[in-house]
Amino acid sequence: GGTFEGDTYVPAGRSCFVSVLEPAEMMRVLSGGWTVVAGKSNAFMTYMALANALQPGLLLHTDLRVTAEKVGLVDIIWEPEGQTGGSAATSPPGFSPAHVSTLTLASLGGGGEEGTLRAKRGLAADQYASLLAAADRGGHGAVRLTFVLCKYWTGGAALAKAIGRVRSGSSPWSLAALSLYTQVGLAYDYCGMNMWCDERQDLLKLGPAPMKDAFLAELRAFLREADAALCGGGGAGGGGGGLPLPCTVFVGTLTALPHYWSFERIAAINAAVRDEVPRAAAALPPTAALSLRVADVYGLGLSRPDEVLEGHMSPLLHLWLAWGLLNALPQARALLRLAGCPEEASFAPACKAVVGGASTVRMGCEDCGCAFYDRVCATDSFECRDFECAQFRPCRFERRGPHATAAEGGERGEGGEGG
């Protein structure tokens, strides 16, 4: 948890702030690495915020409505300039996009209604591995950013096994530093309480206590699979000898506010994450390649409840989450300066859910409209929501503080969505 001073997040118990990263600095941290985000709507919006911060507007003009099941997998690869044919004007400094692919939820599962159900349940490891291995681009210093929709830890465990298989083969990503950010859990609540659960009849109507037990058992199975397969077998079961590269797994708590109808059950899920992930991390031997960490997404949202719209964080909050994850990566320690005391960020209104107590959605401020999103929804209005509209807008931010440029008094960046 923490607090906000204006637009700047201040982690609890810290004398210095989170390092606010410009696109070039984010690419330095991510260079030579593969970052995977797995979860549902809020996780996808964290992914979008990071992708659009790295390359402004990259995902703002594609129908990626996660609530309308238009998102199953998104895969982006940037290569250092010189390894690709050209560079877009908005490309990250020194990099060019070499690969961008998207799959709807149905396509991820093989097509049709049954494909959608398969993707919601989670695919088999060999199916995930086949999809992930298809993106065979990636030279020295390349950056890969992948999103996979994942509602349950059973799918997360299969995904971890699949990533391990890709990294153990001849893929260009076999020697990449790996970061996996997961935010999974809300589907257990919906399913256990008899809501939106056509894909997991075994969880239907379980009730709060058995639902939490199922969540915990499947979270533990995911953590065991991450230990065994994700990072080359260097965890508690492998007795060391894992890949000599950073391999970090973040497990995010769920976004919720106390007035939510399901807050008590979500709080129980979050408590299980806070208990179980550190317990699994403590069991890893000193030689383990794997690092396990909790990402306190709940605390971040609670620190700015006005920036949580219909259960989804604003782009402002998603960028702070992305910066926090990047700050925490082992490979960042040798690359990033120490965060300023304070180092601050300010955000344009289009990054925010609320300005002056009023919603910014379709407000008259610069970039606050949702033109592309509204055009898509005019022809297909299924699950079109204001919180998602808020993500399909350019999000411009400015870094301030001891590391801002002397000439301008700040450094400008541009990001994308949140959730």
Instruction: Please tell me the distance from the alpha carbon of residue 46 to that of residue 246, in angstroms, as a whole number.
Output: 21
**Average of per-residue pLDDT across 335-344:** 66
* Strand 354-355, strand 308-309: pairing: unpaired
Q: How far apart are the first and last CA of the chain?
A: 18
In this prediction, residue 83 carries a pLDDT of 64
Q: Which residue has the higher pLDDT, 155 or 365?
A: 155
- Dihedral angle computed from the Cα positions of residues 325, 327, 332 and 333, in that order, rounded to the nearest 10 degrees: -140
Strand 33-39 to strand 411-415: parallel, antiparallel, or no bridges (unpaired)?
unpaired
Tell me what the pLDDT averaged over the chain comes to. Answer: 86
Q: Is-contact 59 417, C-beta < 8 A?
A: yes
Tokens of 252: 């995010």
| Interior angle at CA 269, CA 266 and CA 270, nearest 5 | 90
Q: Reply yes or no on whether the pLDDT at 413 is more than 80.
A: no
Closest CA relative to residue 203, chosen from 189, 216, 217, 184:
189
CB-based contact 272:314 (threshold 8 Å): no
* Residue-level pLDDT at 406: 30
pLDDT at 68 over 50: yes
Q: Are 10 and 345 spatial neighbours (Cβ–Cβ below 8 Å)? A: no
Which of 182-191, 328-337, 398-407 has the highest average model confidence (pLDDT)? 182-191
Tokens of 410: 């700040």
Is residue 178 pLDDT above 50, yes or no?
yes
- Phi, psi (rounded to 5 degrees) for 11: -60, 145
Query: What does the alpha-carbon distance between residue 69 and residue 382 come to, in Å, rounded to a whole number?
Result: 10
CA distance 414 to 334: 25
Type of residue found at 37: V
Q: Model pTM?
A: 0.91
Q: What is the structure's pLDDT at 253?
A: 97
* Cis preceding linkage at 258, omega within 30: no
Percent of the chain with pLDDT over 90: 62
Structure tokens at 396: 């411009």
Share of residues in the chain with pLDDT > 70 (%): 88
pLDDT of residue 192 exceeding 80: yes
What pLDDT shows up at residue 275?
97
Does 234 have pLDDT greater than 80? no
| Greater pLDDT, 138 or 77 | 77
Could you tell me whether strands 358-359 and 290-295 are parallel, antiparallel, or unpaired per DSSP bridges? unpaired
pLDDT in tens, 132-158: 999 878 878 999 999 999 999 999 999
- Give the residue carrying structure tokens 């960046």: 413
Q: Is residue 339 pLDDT above 90, yes or no? A: no
Residue 188 confidence (pLDDT) = 94
pLDDT of residue 321: 97
Are the C-beta atoms of 119 and 128 separated by less than 8 Å?
A: no
How large is the average pLDDT for residues 331-338? 72
Query: Which of 85-94, 124-133, 161-170, 189-198 shows the lowest mean pLDDT across its residues?
Result: 85-94
Determine which helix (DSSP H) or strand (DSSP E) holds 290, and give its type and residue range.
strand 290-295
In this prediction, residue 39 has a pLDDT band, given cuts at 50, 70 and 90, of very high
CA atoms within 13 A on the CB side of 347: 30
At residue 330 the predicted structure's pLDDT band, cuts being 50, 70 and 90, is: confident
Residue 16's pLDDT is 66
pLDDT of residue 340 exceeding 90, the answer is: no
State the alpha helices, DSSP H only, in 169-296: 186-192, 208-225, 263-282
Please determine, for residue 401, whether its predicted confidence score (pLDDT) is greater than 80. Answer: no
Q: Is the pLDDT of residue 42 over 70?
A: yes
Using alpha carbons, list the distances in angstroms from residue 219 to 21, 72, 216, 382: 31, 21, 5, 31
Rounded to the nearest 5 degrees, what angle is found at the Cα of 311, between the Cα atoms of 306 and 316? 50
How confident is the model over 259-263, as a mean pLDDT?
77
Residue 357 confidence (pLDDT) above 50: yes
